[in-house]
């Protein structure tokens, strides 16, 4: 019998359903300043979980990034250093401010920003760095934070795939001046669409609360440029109960990742994902790299896995700096980011979510070994 193993599977249960139905019965679907009862509850719980003093809910991860850049007064004439091997929203949020995204290369082992490449890209125009925690593994935040401190620029973590990830005992969301999370349908925990910004500064939290509601201040009028980035009460109710499940979901994903590694470590051409010392991976995705060969071989392999009932997927191909808009707008060139371009040609992601059992994982490994041989 042909399997149907999905790459993502949200864990939605009775508590989430009852909470959403309660909001619908109450008929208070949102709050005019984006701070309804469930939004506050979710913000407070998320800040506690991360270990930050404040959390501000947003309508999406992209909204969280854009709002954070607005808070940092990023605008025309500024530059923001970003990875190209990441979600398009990373550079898109920068471009929306009128600033220029400057692409730095990645560490080929972790797929996260390489601090040495970041250092090389710093100019007098650099206003911020956005390290992205890719596939659930955090970037080298100590080194990046030191670079930012030396040059007096902002660090805005993008932790959309890294709920619960850790580096040196600190969770994602506590290293940057600001940190942005996503709760879209492909996240470990989901509100359908939604985002969050965490910070340890009260003034930043208050500014973000203003930005998400058109820049309104205490007197009910716009005091600064903002947007409509409010999270609904329905999304917050869903998110609050999703958060209660997060430790269990992370434990299941870790177990599945370990099983996949044990089943695939003998496949010589596969570079398996690593969890370096002092890091704790969130395993948003189990991403492998097919060494050698051409991009077409990797693409055909993924197509055959999908035909076998295994939803494998290629992410960040092409990388952002090679996308038509960014090439036209900023003149980015091929071969300017060697590690990024190598990863984009060779990586693909496999399912490892909490809904999979050991037999599913054995099936994935069996098919992959057979196709590579």
Here the tokens at position 80 are 């923001």
Q: How confident is the model at residue 295 (pLDDT cuts 50, 70, 90)?
A: confident
pLDDT at 151 over 90: yes
Residue 33: per-residue pLDDT: 74
pLDDT at 286 over 60: yes
Q: How confident is the model at residue 72 (pLDDT cuts 50, 70, 90)?
A: very high
The topology under which CATH files domain 246-372 is 3.90.1150
* pLDDT tens by residue, 308-332: 999 999 999 999 999 999 999 999 9
Residue 175: per-residue pLDDT: 97
**How do the domains of the chain map onto residue ranges?**
14-242, 246-372
pLDDT at 193 over 90: yes
* pLDDT tens by residue, 326-355: 999 999 988 899 999 999 999 999 999 999
Among 47-61, 165-179, 285-299, whose mean pLDDT is lowest? 285-299
Q: What percent of the chain has pLDDT over 90?
A: 91
Residue 3: per-residue pLDDT: 83
Supply the mean pLDDT for the chain: 96
Average pLDDT over residues 137-163: 97
* pLDDT tens by residue, 180-191: 999 998 899 999
Q: Please classify residue 57 by burial: count the beta carbons closer than 10 Å to its beta carbon, then call 0-12 exposed, 13-18 middle and 19+ buried.
A: buried
**How far is residue 306's CA from residue 272's CA, in Å, rounded to a whole number?**
20
Strands 178-182, 170-171: pairing kind? unpaired
Q: Give per-residue burial for 289-317: e unless 16+ CB within 10 Å, then b.
A: bbeeeeeeebeebbeebeebebbbbbbbb
pLDDT at 1 over 70: no
Angle 88-96/61-71 helices, nearest 10 degrees?
40
Q: What is the pTM of this model?
A: 0.96
DSSP-assigned letters across all residues of 15-82: HHHHHHHHHHHHT----TTS--HHHHHHHHHHHHHHT-SEEEEESSHHHHHHHHHHHTT--TT-EEEE
Residue 293: per-residue pLDDT: 72
- Which of the four CATH numbers 3.40.640.10, 1.10.10.60, 1.10.10.10, 3.30.1490.190 does domain 14-242 have? 3.40.640.10
Residue 2: per-residue pLDDT: 64
* pLDDT tens by residue, 14-60: 999 999 999 999 888 888 777 899 999 999 999 999 999 999 999 99
């Amino acid at each position: 019998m042909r399997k149907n193993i999905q790459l993502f599977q949200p864990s939605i249960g009775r508590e989430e359903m009852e909470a959403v139905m309660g909001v619908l019965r109450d008929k208070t679907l949102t709050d005019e300043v984006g701070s309804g009862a469930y939004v506050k509850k979710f913000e407070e719980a998320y800040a506690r979980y991360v270990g930050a003093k404040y959390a501000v809910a947003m309508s999406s991860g992209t909204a969280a990034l854009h709002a954070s850049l607005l808070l940092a007064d990023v605008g025309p004439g500024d530059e923001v250093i970003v990875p190209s091997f990441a979600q398009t929203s990373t550079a898109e949020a920068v471009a929306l401010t009128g600033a220029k995204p400057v692409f730095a290369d990645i560490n080929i082992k972790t797929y996260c920003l390489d601090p040495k490449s970041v250092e090389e890209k710093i100019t007098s125009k650099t206003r911020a760095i956005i390290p992205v925690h890719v596939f659930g593994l955090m970037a080298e935040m100590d080194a990046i934070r030191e670079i930012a401190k030396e040059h007096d620029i902002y660090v805005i973590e993008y932790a959309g795939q890294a709920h619960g990830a850790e580096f040196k005992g600190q969770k994602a969301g506590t290293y940057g001046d600001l940190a942005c999370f996503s709760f879209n349908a492909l996240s470990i925990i989901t509100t359908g669409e939604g985002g969050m910004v965490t910070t340890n500064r009260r003034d930043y939290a208050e500014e973000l609360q203003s930005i998400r509601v058109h820049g309104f201040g205490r007197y009910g009028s716009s005091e600064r440029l903002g947007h409509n980035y409010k999270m609904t009460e329905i999304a917050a109710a869903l998110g609050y109960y999703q958060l209660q499940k997060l430790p269990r979901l992370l434990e299941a994903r870790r177990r599945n990742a370990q099983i996949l590694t044990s089943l695939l470590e003998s496949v010589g051409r596969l570079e398996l994902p690593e969890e370096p010392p002092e890091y704790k991976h969130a395993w948003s995705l189990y991403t492998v790299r097919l060494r050698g060969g051409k991009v077409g071989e990797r693409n055909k392999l993924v197509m055959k896995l999908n035909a076998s009932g295994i939803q494998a997927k290629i992410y960040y191909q092409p990388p952002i700096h090679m996308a038509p808009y960014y090439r036209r707008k900023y003149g980015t060139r091929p071969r300017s980011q060697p590690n990024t371009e190598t990863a984009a040609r060779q990586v693909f992601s496999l399912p490892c979510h909490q809904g999979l059992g050991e037999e599913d994982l054995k099936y994935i490994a069996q098919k992959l070994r057979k196709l590579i041989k």
